[in-house]
Amino acid sequence: MPVEIVKDKWPGSVRQVTLGATAAEGGTRSHTVTVGGEASLPFMHFEAPMPNRPRVAIEIKDRRPDDWSPLLLEVWGAAADNPAEWAKAAEQAGADLIVLALSLTKADGSPTQAADAAASVKAVLGATGLPLIVFGPGQAEADNELLVAVAEAAKGERIALGICEDKNYRTIVATAMANGHLVTARTPMDVNLAKQLNILISDMGLPLDRILMDPTTGALGYGIEYGFSVMERLRLAALQGDNMTQLPMLVTPGFEAWKTKESKVGEGVPADWGNWLQRAINWEVMTAVTLLESGADIVVLRHPESVARVKAVIDGLMQPA
């Protein structure tokens, strides 16, 4: 019985965004990474081929973090003491991209200075040929100060600067424009807010193909359903032709999953939670896969085993059988 399948025809598609610049393009990356370009819902290869596979980024810090799960610190070992080493290890672990998250303070508790941030970025750029994404510590003043220094230090490398939020985007966008970088735009789990921030940023003159959006997602068990639906809605809007949602989505399941109690705590929890390490990795992987199914273009992870598993999932999702 021949069945005629239903194919959606979409007027719109997601923009392609390229991270990194090679020597030929004025940078020092060994290659660039392009994401986006989807003209159908995630992995509906029978409607439109996906020009770019979703990518896995590994998040590293500029110094050994104080608040990460011991499971993560254990697996990264000494590399966590040095951003350059950590970046190398991440590349080894299969990262397509490096996310360098700057700390608010140095190990001695004094505030991270612009020069420190610039130095960390330079070190990471020197250690790996992968394109780079840099997140500020997440406080407006510090973000603005450190990211301007970072943008200047990495001029020409086409890195992505984060995080732009609706109350703090002008400085970061301006420095991204001046130094040829990209930005990531983060909004709290709301379709409208995501779109609004994209409009605000593009109103400043930054081309849309230099913006990644991070709709924030929540972890499995901690609101992931909102993130899941917000991403589906954003992707649907993009395909329906809404210009201001046609941006690739960067999400941080690593950050989200590893702050849950299930991942952080190994003792004094119910036995039915199972093996701690495997549970924590499952939590990260399953959060990431859920987000891939709803349209993530870049997933930022923390544990190398998760990276391997998520990459295998992407392989499977990119093979239309």
Task: Choose which of 31, 106, 170, 261 interacts with other proteins (CB under 8 A).
Answer: 170
Q: Please list, in sequence order, all residues whose beta carbon lies within 8 angstroms of the beta carbon of residue 182, skipping any fewer than 6 positions away.
A: 17, 19, 158, 159, 160, 161, 176, 210, 211, 212
By beta-carbon proximity to other proteins, the closer residue of 86 and 258 is 258
Chain positions 148 to 167 lying near other proteins, rule: CB under 8 A, are 166-167
Chain positions 239 to 258 lying near other proteins, rule: CB under 8 A, are 242, 244
C-alpha radius of gyration, the chain, whole number: 19
By beta-carbon proximity to other proteins, the closer residue of 1 and 24 is 1
Q: Is 228 in the site for other proteins (CB under 8 A)?
A: yes
CB of 316 to other proteins, least distance (A): 4
By beta-carbon proximity to other proteins, the closer residue of 121 and 280 is 280
Task: Choose which of 21, 100, 125, 286 interacts with other proteins (CB under 8 A).
Answer: 286
Chain positions 188 to 207 lying near other proteins, rule: CB under 8 A, are 188-193, 195-196, 199-200, 203-205
Q: Residue 121 in contact with residue 101, Cβ under 8 Å?
A: no
CB of 118 to other proteins, least distance (A): 22
Q: Is 236 in the site for other proteins (CB under 8 A)?
A: yes
CA distance 310 to 319: 14
Chain positions 68 to 127 lying near other proteins, rule: CB under 8 A, are 104
CA 104 to chain centre: 19
Six-digit token pair at 62?
A: 């500029």
CA distance 195 to 212: 12
Q: Is 132 exposed, middle or buried (0-12, 13-18, 19+ CB in 10 A)?
A: buried
